[in-house]
C-alpha cells in the first residue's frame, strides 16, 4: 500500500520489471514462478532466483536557521528540478560514507553525517524501487559550488521552497522539517 500521511502520498508501487530473460549462472531462460507469496524469476535448470531488491539512496540535510541546502539537477529526467543533495550507495560502501561522498560531490562541502532523520521507500521511478535514508549533518569544510550532476546549489528558505522538486520523498522530508521547526 502506498505511503500516505500528513506529509503527502507516494505514487503507486511499481511492478517487478522483467529486466533479465536468462539465468546469469547457466544461460537457461527464466520462468516466473510463485515463491514466498510473489512471482519470482527462477531458473528451472540450476534453481537460481533473481531477487528484485531495492537500491539504497542517501541524502544529507544541512540546515542553517530556517534554510536548507538544495541542489538543482543538471541532466536526465529531473533536469532543472531541485532536491536535497543525494545519491546511491556503492556496493562496498557504508551508508554514512556514501552520504558524505555524495554530498561533497554535488556541493563541494565536506560534512559530518549525523543521526538518521527519515527513511522512505521511493516509488517515483516505475523502473526502479529505492529506499532513501536522510541524515542530519553539519558542514566541516569546503566551499559551496555545484558539481557532479547538479548545476546549482543554494541555501533555500523552508518557507519559500521551489515548486519543482525532483522527488516526492523530498517533499515528505521537507514537510516534516517544516513541521518540526514550526514554519
pLDDT value of residue 123: 84
In whole angstroms, what is the distance from residue 162 CA to residue 154 CA? 11
Flag whether pLDDT at 2 surpasses 80. Answer: no
Look at 104 and 124; give whichever has higher pLDDT: 104
The share of the chain scoring above pLDDT 90, in percent, equals: 77
Q: Which residue has cell 547457466? A: 26
Contact 161, 170 (CB under 8 A): no
Phi, psi of 158 (to 5 degrees): -65, -15
Q: Delineate the domains of the chain, giving CATH numbers in brackets.
A: 4-50 (no CATH), 55-181 (3.90.79.10)
Task: Cell numbers for 1, please give them.
Answer: 500500500
The share of the chain scoring above pLDDT 70, in percent, equals: 90
Flag whether pLDDT at 13 surpasses 70. Answer: no
Please give the order of strands across the beta sheet that includes 49-50.
30-35, 38-43, 49-50
Task: Cell numbers for 124, please give them.
Answer: 517515483
- β-bridge pairing 55-61 and 130-142: parallel
pLDDT-derived band at 175, boundaries 50, 70, 90: very high
Taking only the tens place, the pLDDT of each residue in 113-165 is: 999 999 999 887 777 788 999 999 999 999 999 998 999 999 999 999 999 99
* Residue from 81, 65, 87, 84 nearest 159 by CA: 65
pLDDT value of residue 20: 82
Helix ranges, the chain (H): 95-107, 168-181
Amino acid at each position: 500500500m502506498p505511503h500516505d500521511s500528513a506529509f503527502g502520498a507516494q505514487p503507486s508501487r511499481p511492478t517487478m520489471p522483467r529486466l533479465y530473460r536468462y539465468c546469469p549462472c547457466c544461460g537457461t531462460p527464466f520462468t516466473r514462478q510463485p515463491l514466498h507469496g510473489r512471482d519470482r524469476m527462477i531458473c528451472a535448470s540450476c534453481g537460481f532466483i533473481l531477487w528484485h531488491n531495492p537500491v539504497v539512496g542517501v541524502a544529507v540535510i544541512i540546515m542553517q536557521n530556517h534554510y536548507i541546502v538544495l541542489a538543482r539537477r543538471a541532466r536526465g529526467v529531473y533536469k532543472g528540478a531541485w532536491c536535497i543533495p543525494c545519491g546511491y550507495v556503492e556496493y562496498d560502501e557504508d551508508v554514512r560514507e556514501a552520504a558524505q561522498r555524495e554530498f561533497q560531490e554535488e556541493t563541494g562541502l565536506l560534512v559530518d553525517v549525523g543521526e538518521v532523520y527519515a527513511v522512505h521507500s521511493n516509488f517515483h521511478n516505475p523502473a526502479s524501487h529505492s529506499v532513501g535514508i536522510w541524515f542530519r549533518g553539519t558542514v566541516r569544510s569546503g566551499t559551496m559550488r555545484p558539481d557532479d550532476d547538479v548545476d546549482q546549489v543554494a541555501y533555500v528558505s523552508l518557507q519559500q521552497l521551489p515548486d519543482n522538486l525532483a522527488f516526492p520523498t523530498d517533499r515528505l522530508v521537507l514537510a516534516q522539517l517544516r513541521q518540526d521547526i514550526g514554519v
